[in-house]
Each structure stands twice: as structure tokens, then as C-alpha cells.
């Protein structure tokens, strides 16, 4: 027989078994990873913000099968540096102004490290009492910071839960709303249920409606207009509800938005709740991005009327320095969630649950398993304090105002929609000469193409990164301030990049071929 190779020796020798949780290995390798990340953040602004790789690049660099033998952490981190970093879009770069922020912080990362290190699966109180109880405490803390009505707090009969994302929050509350109605009119009546939002509402609502079984024809994306600053009109909502009732349908759920994805438009919460409550419609307030700002008293008015809603959520992982994922959801009627989402198999029965003196968060979400998310949010709140968190958000709003002012001073550009928080929507205008003898629709089409090409050129530079939206048929460039490392100098630099590429584009004859 031939001699055994190293792989055979490893597989046949019990003495070669790995120690997957050796404290000293963990200490040594952990320090190396922290050092690696610290260096990354020190130099993150030197990377192209938007990844410049081509599809499939990584398959050319990484073997097509896993290694049979162990590899040292030093080699793995070197491959992260050489192969993985070029394929990242750097969300934590100070030059990142795309989508909405995914703000991180030292406290958030350390909280995540503790949560991951403990690795508890806190599906019910019994599985880790501290995980459940800290979550209830932190959610009441945060609810008070937002000045939510007492009815949303555990101390007032409601309660909060940490979901992964807004998509989950909408899905859970829509499921609860659906079951409340079907329990009254019969489970076979699901085809009559209607869900409402606006044409600016996040696509998560439509997806959730599909999942819970709402008929596609019963999904209402009510049209908004520039006259209402793209907020949902209460009169339009009332008309839609009345028409559906006249047709024998049953209105069940409204998702109103504070800070839409396209333009950060704000739906008129109080007036919409008044309409919805007349027809016993569950109202969910989606403040995924802008909810963070509402801890500042000067922005709290954007959620006035929330006391008449059924549920409210925002993403702490967007603009509240608590890394992904951490969606904060409050409900007035926890029993509605529990009735719709609970399961009680024998293997999960225990005295604490049966005493009804504890919360089992498995019944407030879709999945059974859940992570100890409250730990990182707790660290963020304690490490920075309410005053510092407010001031950091204010600093981002101040930088957005600066960008808005710079756009306003350049006559080649215009602000495309009102700025409510720390995002500016703007666009490059066509030269006036090209408006002559052309229809408004043609001018709009060409202007949209001009801005599309401008954004592509800006992002291809690697010096900054922004994204777009189409609002009322108009292609706009979105500039969202919110990365934790961003300073005023980065905002000024980004505007310089936009101006440079606009100058090249306007003076070029290439884009006019489209015209």
C-alpha cells in the first residue's frame, strides 16, 4: 500500500481533531481580526467607494472546492485583503452617499461581538432570560426617546421587538392584521382583503402582501403628486377605501411612510390614521430611515399622530449607529402578533411560559430562532448617550443642508424635491437652448438620460457613490448623508466630483446623439 498523505492522516488520527473554540486561539486570532478591521477603517477612504469589479471576478480567484486541510488565519486575512475587499462596495466609507446609510459604530460592533460570542438562541424567555428582558427594557428606553405614546410601551400594555429588517416588521404586522379580520369574517374570505400604500411606499409592502395571500388585484398603490410633495393624500385614501367597500371588499391594512426611499417624502400620519380608523384598518408607520431623526425634538413632529396608529417601526441599522440588522418594531396590541405567529410544540413547553409572566419573542416574529440583537443596541445607547446620538444626527442634517446650498448656487442644477432630513434629491438641467421647439415629454426624456449618464460617470470614478430614483417621472440623483465617518470635507469633495463630470458631459457631443 502507498503511504498516507496529510489529508488521510488528519482524517484517521483522533489526536488531530480541531479545537473550534479554544480560548487562546480565539484571543490571538480575534486580535488579528480587530487589527485588520481597524486598519480597514483607517484607510477605507482610499478604496473606490463603489466596487469596480466585473461579474464573476471572484470565481477566477478562489478555488472551486473547499480545502481539505486547515489554513492559517494569516493566509485567510491576506486573501480577504487581496480578493474580497476589491469586490466590496464600501458602505462605511466617508464618501458613501448612496441608498440610505448603514451606519456603524465601535459600540455597535462590540455589541455584535458580544452577541455573537455568547451565541444564544433566544427564542423564548427560558432559552436565555437576559436576552428577552434586556430587549424589553431597551425597546421601552428607545420608545421614550422617540416620545412614543405609552400605549406602545410594555409599561402601557403594548411592546417592542427587534426584527431583522423593515420587511419583516411589515410582514409580521400585516399577518396580524389579516388574521384579526379573518377571525371575524371567516378564513375563506381572504380574497376580499385589501392592502393600501402609495406609489412611493417601499416594495416590502407588496412583497408582504403576496406572502400573506392578498390577491394581487387587491393591492392599492395610490398615486401621489408633487402638489402633496409625494405624500399620500388622505382624500385619495378615503376614496379608495370607499370604492373597495362598495365593491364588497374588506380594507385591512395601511402602510404610511415617514421618509420614503425615493425622496424622503412624509405621509400625513394624523390625517391618514383618522381615515383608516373610521374603517377599522390597521395602520403601520414605516419610518425605516427617518425614525432615527425623530429622537431629536425638532424632527419629532414628523411622526405626530402616531398615537392613532397600530404599529410603528424604524431601522436602527440605517442611521442610528447600530450595525445590520436591527429593526425596531412597536405594537399597541402584542396579542394580535402572538395570535397570528405563535406555535406551541411540546418540546418548547416550560413553567415560565405557562405562567404567562414572561415574553416569548418567538411569537412576535416569523422565525423561531433569534439573535441577541438587544445587546448591541444597549451598548450604543449606553456608550454614546441620548445627547450625543442626537447631535450626530444633527451633524448629518447640517452637512445635507450644505450640499443642498451648493447645488442651489449652481444654476445648471436644481433641487428636485424638498429636503426633510439628510438626503438631497437633485438633477442636472438641460441647457435652455434645447427646450426650444421640443415637447415637454421629449425634454424630460433627454434630461433623464443626461442625469443617468452623469450618475454613471460619478460612480465610475470611485471617488464617491450615489444612487437614483424616479419621482413623478423625473430621474433624480439621491445624495444621502449618514455614514459614520463622513465629514464636511467629504461632502464638498463629492459636490466637486459631480460638477467636474457635469462639465465634461455638457460639453460633450456624445450624449446629444440620444437627443
Is there a shared CATH topology between the 149-349 domain and the 383-513 domain? no
d(CA 262, CA 136): 33
Neighbours of 295 (CB within 10 A): 19
Identify the pLDDT of residue 156.
Answer: 94
C-alpha gyration radius of the chain:
26
d(CA 482, CA 464): 14
Residue 242, C-beta contacts closer than 8 angstroms, at least 6 positions apart: none
C-alpha cell at 337: 402578533
Neighbours of 423 (CB within 10 A): 29
C-alpha cell at 312: 410603528
Identify the pLDDT of residue 437.
Answer: 66
Helix axes 129-145, 374-409, angle to 10 degrees: 30
Count CA atoms within 13 Å of residue 171 on its CB side: 19
d(CA 487, CA 485): 7
Identify the pLDDT of residue 8.
Answer: 58
- Give the angle subtended at the CA of 259 by the CAs of 110 and 92, to the nearest 5°: 35
The structural domains of the chain, with segments of one domain joined by +, span: 149-349, 383-513
CATH for the stretch 149-349:
3.40.640.10
The closest of 353, 481, 498, 291 to 413, measured between CA atoms, is 498
Identify the pLDDT of residue 396.
Answer: 97
**pTM score, two decimals?**
0.92
Neighbours of 190 (CB within 10 A): 18
The closest of 239, 308, 300, 305 to 267, measured between CA atoms, is 305
For the chain, which ranges sit under pLDDT 50?
1-4
**pLDDT tens-digit series, residues 331-360:** 999 999 999 999 888 888 998 888 888 899
Chosen CATH of 383-513 out of 3.10.110.10, 3.50.50.60, 3.30.70.120, 3.90.1150.10: 3.90.1150.10
Amino acid at each position: 500500500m502507498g503511504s498516507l498523505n496529510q489529508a488521510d492522516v488528519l482524517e484517521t488520527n483522533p489526536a488531530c481533531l480541531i479545537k473550534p473554540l479554544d480560548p487562546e486561539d480565539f484571543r490571538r486570532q480575534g486580535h488579528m481580526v480587530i487589527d485588520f478591521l481597524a486598519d480597514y477603517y483607517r484607510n477605507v477612504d482610499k478604496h473606490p467607494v463603489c466596487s469596480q469589479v466585473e461579474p464573476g471576478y471572484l470565481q477566477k480567484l478562489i478555488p472551486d472546492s473547499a480545502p481539505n486541510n486547515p489554513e492559517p488565519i494569516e493566509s485567510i486575512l491576506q486573501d480577504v485583503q487581496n480578493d474580497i475587499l476589491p469586490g466590496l462596495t464600501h458602505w462605511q466609507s466617508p464618501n458613501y452617499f448612496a441608498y440610505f446609510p448603514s451606519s456603524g459604530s465601535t459600540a455597535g460592533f462590540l455589541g455584535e461581538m458580544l452577541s455573537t460570542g455568547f451565541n444564544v438562541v433566544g427564542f423564548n424567555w427560558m432559552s436565555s432570560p437576559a436576552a428577552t428582558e434586556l430587549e424589553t427594557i431597551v425597546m421601552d428606553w428607545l420608545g421614550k426617546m422617540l416620545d412614543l405614546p405609552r400605549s406602545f410601551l410594555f409599561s402601557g400594555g403594548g411592546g417592542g421587538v427587534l426584527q431583522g429588517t423593515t420587511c419583516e416588521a411589515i410582514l409580521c404586522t400585516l399577518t396580524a392584521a389579516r388574521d384579526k379580520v379573518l377571525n371575524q369574517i371567516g378564513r375563506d374570505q381572504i380574497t376580499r382583503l385589501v392592502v393600501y400604500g402609495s406609489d412611493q411606499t417601499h416594495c416590502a409592502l407588496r412583497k408582504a402582501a403576496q406572502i400573506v395571500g392578498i390577491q394581487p388585484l387587491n393591492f392599492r398603490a395610490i398615486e401621489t403628486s408633487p402638489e402633496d410633495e409625494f405624500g399620500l393624500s388622505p382624500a385619495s385614501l378615503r376614496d379608495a377605501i370607499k370604492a373597495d367597500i362598495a365593491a364588497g371588499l374588506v380594507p385591512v391594512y395601511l402602510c404610511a411612510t415617514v421618509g420614503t426611499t425615493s425622496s424622503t417624502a412624509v405621509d400625513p400620519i394624523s390625517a391618514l390614521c383618522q381615515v383608516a380608523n373610521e374603517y377599522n384598518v390597521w395602520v403601520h408607520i414605516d419610518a425605516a430611515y427617518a425614525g432615527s431623526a425623530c429622537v431629536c425634538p425638532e424632527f419629532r413632529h414628523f411622526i405626530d399622530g402616531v398615537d392613532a396608529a397600530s404599529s410603528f417601526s424604524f431601522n436602527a441599522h440605517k442611521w442610528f449607529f447600530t450595525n445590520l440588522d436591527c429593526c425596531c418594531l412597536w405594537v399597541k396590541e402584542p396579542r394580535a402578533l402572538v395570535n397570528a405567529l405563535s406555535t406551541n410544540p411540546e418540546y418548547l413547553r416550560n413553567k415560565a411560559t405557562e405562567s404567562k409572566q414572561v415574553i416569548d419573542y418567538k411569537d412576535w416574529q416569523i422565525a423561531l430562532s433569534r439573535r441577541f440583537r438587544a445587546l448591541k443596541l444597549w451598548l450604543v445607547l449606553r456608550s454614546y448617550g441620548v445627547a450625543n446620538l442626537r447631535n450626530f444626527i444633527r451633524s448629518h442634517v447640517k452637512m445635507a443642508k450644505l450640499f443642498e446650498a451648493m447645488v442651489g448656487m449652481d444654476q445648471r442644477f436644481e433641487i428636485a424635491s424638498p429636503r426633510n432630513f439628510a438626503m438631497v434629491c437633485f438633477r442636472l438641467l438641460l441647457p435652455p437652448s434645447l427646450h426650444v421647439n421640443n415637447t415637454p415629454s421629449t425634454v424630460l426624456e433627454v434630461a433623464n438620460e443626461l442625469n443617468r449618464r452623469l450618475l454613471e460617470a460619478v460612480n465610475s470614478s470611485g471617488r464617491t457613490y450615489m444612487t437614483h430614483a424616479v419621482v413623478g417621472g423625473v430621474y433624480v440623483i439621491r445624495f444621502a448623508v449618514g455614514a459614520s465617518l463622513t465629514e464636511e470635507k467629504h461632502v464638498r469633495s463629492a459636490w466637486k466630483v459631480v460638477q467636474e463630470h457635469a462639465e465634461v458631459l455638457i460639453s460633450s457631443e456624445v450624449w446629444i446623439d440620444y437627443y
